[in-house]
Structure 1
Amino acid sequence: MQLLEAKSLRKSYGGVAALRDGNLICKQGKVCGLLGANGSGKSTFSKMISGVVKPDGGEIWFNGTKLDVANPQEARKQGIIMVHQHLSLIPELTIWENMTLGIEPQGRLGFVNDKASKETAQAFLAKFAPELAIDLKVRELSLAQKQFVEIAKAIAQQPKLLILDEPTAPLEQSEVEKLFAVMRELKARQTSIIFISHRLWEIKSICDYVVVFRNGETVGAIDFDTEAKDESLIVSMISGKEHRHALGERTGGRLDPGADTLLEVRDFKLRKAREGLSFKVKKGEVVGFGGLQGQGQEQLLLALSGLEQPAGGQVSLGGRRLKLRHPKQAVREGIVLVPGDRHKEGLFLQHDVLMNLIYPQFATRKTGFLLNWKKLKREAEEVIRQVNIVPNDPGKVVQYLSGGNQQKVVVGKWLPLAPKVLLLSDPAKGVDVGAKRELYDTVRRLAEQGTSVLLYASDHEELMDICDRVFILFEDQIVDEIFPAEYGEQRFVSASLRSAKAAGPAAAAGRPSAAAAGR
């Protein structure tokens, strides 16, 4: 039985078509994966169903009745709830206040019943994070915890149709499994779910069927009940091209064994109460940092970039000891960072592509007050070509680019500086398959040219695809070192669950027999 049918939905903004022909059937008690590259129309389509955006044309049928909702409140009354890609929580309110905002239970005299609100919040939040106190203010939570609050808030409204727009982007695999367990409970109660994700393993794990959008149109569907979960077919439908692998052929493990050590980190303490970690990275080597989220991977990259100060330890580049007290110092030494949150930390969203690409020049110039604008414009145009920013217009305001093209700008702005060390903090999070492939193609080219790369990725597949070796971190310690011959999901997961104590003293110290030697 079908709950929702969308027919030929259309939407344009200022003459630019965001959605040309969107079609989708959502079956009762099933999970429909909605796939497509960034800018393919998925979010626009979802916003139409949930009442955020009014279609220019087409029809929406829900529960056998033609639907015309003017706003999200009307959609909610019909039982349609959407969890948006960008969170809608209010930082200064508590968890329980956020979860019941706008749907507060009332007492007999019409007053808000705080006790009932807290009980509701506690019951639904416990499905994801029972350790969280509902009186905590949202600003005190991690990004993953905020995501769980947002999802719990949606589920508490007991939707007939739940739309999840990239809900797993900030989540680690273990956290994703918690979400999937709740989604299976919802399915059992005949709730229908539209699930948007760029992670193919998630799609194959939780979806009953998928619908694919490309360039604002529905291009096809795959029913997993009757058809194989063919990853190459899914990728080719999304991109319009044939691809043997989501990121291309694996390139990890091809480093010249005779390459010189470029970066050495010794007894590096991310927190005072923790022991230091040590490792070496060769010139042109791509070294990954994996493990459960929040085990020190991002803090390590921030400290190496000069943005945060470590509690102790040494960093040497090319045999020369560095003191990185500020990001400007790191950039001038050739160490650059692609941060985990491109909107807050990587881009000036209100400025155009040109200004974003040339901004690092201000941090690195040593004399004079004037910049050679002609030279900078030529360099920016070359970067746009190299990383394939679409559209190839240096005057395009960055906030109007797709997520994948925004991330290309974040990476591309460092290319004219020919960095010695590139620090990447989950660079492909929320990026579509095609843009992810192009992004890592750029990383590979930089490595081939001698740039050393330190990559943290929450997706193990990304680490296995590109890294010459991977360190697994647990509580700020290196607990394992994995080489390409040992790569595999089971190997990564089991290593991620090991403490430094369980792994032994060698692993806790960074396995000096291998790691300290640069292998």
Structure 2
Amino acid sequence: MAILEAKNIVKRFGGVTALSNGNITCREGKITGLLGTNGSGKSTISKIITGVYLPDGGTITYQGKEVAFRDPIEAKRAGIVMAFQNLSLIPDLTVWQNVVLSFEQRKGVFLDNQAAREKTRELIDQFVPGFDIERKVIQLNSSEKQIVEIIKAISEEPRLLILDEPTAALEQAQVKALFWYMKKLASEGVAIIFTSHRMGEIMEICDDIVVFNNGKNTGSIDFEKDGKNQDEIIGLITGDIEGTSEKHKNEDISEETKFEVKDLQYQEILKHINLSVKKGEVLGVGGLQGQGQVELMLALAGNYKKIKGQAILDGKEISLKSPKTTIREGIVFVPGDRQTEGLMMQDSVYQNMIMPKLAMKKQPLFTPVKKYQKEAEEVVKILSIKTDTIDQKVNNLSGGNQQKVVVGKWIPFDINVLLLSDPAKGVDIGAKQDLYDFVLKLAKEKGISVILYASDNEELVDYCNRVMVMYEGSIIKELSGDDITNANITKASLNLPEGERKEMEA
């Protein structure tokens, strides 16, 4: 029996359509796999179901009644709960305080803290026996935090439980415990939506799947009726889009190696990374989100002091242990999160453009304002930044123009390596094309080497000469030439055993 049906769901964020036709049906006592590549709409429809977002179109029917939850609290009271991949925990509260937050039990006029502790301990012992629930969340590692997030959701005794990439940070034993508990909940009639990029987990735990691609459904499979066909699932995930993308990449690449790193390591996040990029080449970094791509870009930008390994630029060994050092070497970084990492939102276009220069040690005694203003105006012209004046605050610009400012502030520098971390995320099609056209022009005319991480595989297909695919902090596959396709990147991202991968490609 269907407990929830979402039909024809539409969601727009500004000029970007995240969902154009989202559909999913969940049945009591069944575990439904929600699959799709990065940006396909999976998280968006989950957040609409749980009241984080309001839909712009479509209907949701829950327990036979049409609903439109205004916030997650309202959804929780109706029995719909989500454990988020981007954790919803409060760092300064203890484990048990996070678990019962907003749903505290009372004993008369007082909170029943003892009952809350006992409930938390009973649930968490299923995953990590003997776990100290008095510890603050800020003291936990990533897998422990994820367990607390899951326990928090389970503790609310949902009728529909949504698990968004719950196993990404868990150890094998913890995954096994989670699957046991999911089956237990399903046997009690709870409907579960399970999002995962790990094909083995989908095949093991799910009763059926729904696949999203580019904001709409590409299909669904009921395993009980139709069986489990991995080839069919991969086809639905990648979509029928092979060969439809127009490629805009530089073909004439120098054979000269511009930049390379050897045996790069950082904690348990980056594992023995080896890469090289040629002069004028665009090297792509792909894979499912959260596999170490962002950390790799930050490491190359000098963000980690305790990094291990060797870096060589133009044949000379350099240090990657501070941003100032890498900037002086001409290695500059463009983050994807422009609002929190790339810009000072309350400052002007001009102030944002000159900030990297002012932060460097070697500065003239008096700031050459007229010179810097002229440079900023030239950058605005080169990148076609739509602004009335360089004194306009960047928070008044569109997302695409904001991102152009993030890139533009580095143009006056002598760039050797340009690091782009998902630079077109949330940017409209026109601004995205302008951005990449400029990047390719820099690479071709000035011989700048580009390392591009993009969560959208099509950006890697369109613009990269080679693509490295990452999985759990390691590079597991390199693609080049005609092998750079959406399907091949997706298959490598899932890290299937080689035999299964060859079978699918046959």
Normalising by structure 2, we get a TM-score of: 0.62
Q: Name the structure 1 match of 2:61.
A: 61
SS in 2 for 1:224: strand
**Count of residue pairs brought into register by the alignment:** 465
**Cα 1:448/1:178, change in 2 over 3 Å:** farther
Is 2:150 the counterpart of 1:151? yes
Contact preservation (8 Å) 1:172, 1:293: no
Q: Name the structure 2 match of 1:501.
A: none
Q: Name the structure 2 match of 1:244.
A: 242
Is 2:330 the counterpart of 1:334? yes
Is 2:110 the counterpart of 1:73? no
Give me the whole-angstrom Cα distance separating, in 2, the residues matched to 1:337 and 1:150: 32
Normalising by structure 1, we get a TM-score of: 0.61
Give the drift of 1:305: 2.5
Report the residue type matching 1:259 in the other structure: E
**Cα 1:163/1:471, change in 2 over 3 Å:** closer
Q: Name the structure 1 match of 2:92.
A: 92
1:77-476 alignment to 2 at 5 Å? Answer: 77-84=77-84, 86-104=86-104, 111-112=112-113, 113-123=115-125, 125-126=127-128, 134-142=133-141, 146-163=145-162, 167=165, 181=179, 185=183, 190-193=189-192, 208-210=209-211, 222-225=219-222, 229=232, 243-244=241-242, 256=253, 259-263=255-259, 265=261, 281-285=277-281, 301-310=297-306, 315-322=311-318, 326-339=322-335, 344-348=340-344, 359-360=355-356, 362-363=358-359, 366-367=363-364, 368-370=367-369, 372-373=372-373, 375-380=375-380, 382-383=382-383, 397=395, 401=399, 414=410, 417=413, 419-424=415-420, 427=422, 448=444, 450-454=447-451, 466=464, 468=466, 470=468
Q: Name the structure 2 match of 1:27.
A: 26
Give the drift of 1:90: 0.8
Contact preservation (8 Å) 2:468, 2:475: no
Give me the whole-angstrom Cα distance separating, in 1, the residues matched to 2:135 and 2:150: 17
Report the residue type matching 2:118 in the other structure: A
Contact preservation (8 Å) 1:269, 1:312: yes
Give me the whole-angstrom Cα distance separating, in 2, the residues matched to 1:296 and 1:303: 10
**Cα 1:263/1:183, change in 2 over 3 Å:** farther
Report the residue type matching 1:331 in the other structure: I
Q: Give the gaps of 5 or more residues in structure 2.
A: 387-391, 499-506
Cα deviation, 1:26-62, whole Å, max 9, x if unaligned, reads 231353748799698974x655543456779976432
Q: Name the structure 1 match of 2:501.
A: none
Give the drift of 1:92: 1.0
Give me the whole-angstrom Cα distance separating, in 2, the residues matched to 1:455 and 1:163: 32
Give me the whole-angstrom Cα distance separating, in 1, the residues matched to 2:174 and 2:349: 34
> How high is the sequence identity, in percent, across the aligned residues?
33
Give the drift of 1:91: 0.7
SS in 1 for 2:369: coil
Report the residue type matching 1:451 in the other structure: I
Q: Give the gaps of 5 or more residues in structure 1.
A: 237-241, 389-393, 497-519
SS in 2 for 1:419: coil
Contact preservation (8 Å) 1:30, 1:190: no
**Cα 1:9/1:244, change in 2 over 3 Å:** closer
Contact preservation (8 Å) 2:22, 2:217: no
Give me the whole-angstrom Cα distance separating, in 2, the residues matched to 1:433 and 1:16: 7
**Cα 1:136/1:345, change in 2 over 3 Å:** farther
Cα deviation, 1:382-419, whole Å, max 9, x if unaligned, reads 4367xx9xxxxx86638984xx9987775565456463
SS in 1 for 2:383: helix
**Cα 1:184/1:245, change in 2 over 3 Å:** farther
Give the drift of 1:376: 2.0
Contact preservation (8 Å) 2:261, 2:274: yes
Give me the whole-angstrom Cα distance separating, in 2, the residues matched to 1:484 and 1:179: 40
Cα deviation, 1:13-36, whole Å, max 9, x if unaligned, reads 9x9999999774523135374879
Contact preservation (8 Å) 2:469, 2:492: no
Give me the whole-angstrom Cα distance separating, in 1, the residues matched to 2:17 and 2:471: 42
**Cα 1:8/1:107, change in 2 over 3 Å:** same
Give me the whole-angstrom Cα distance separating, in 2, the residues matched to 1:58 and 1:413: 42
Give the drift of 1:4: 2.2
Contact preservation (8 Å) 2:126, 2:177: no
Give the drift of 1:78: 1.7
Contact preservation (8 Å) 1:200, 1:231: no
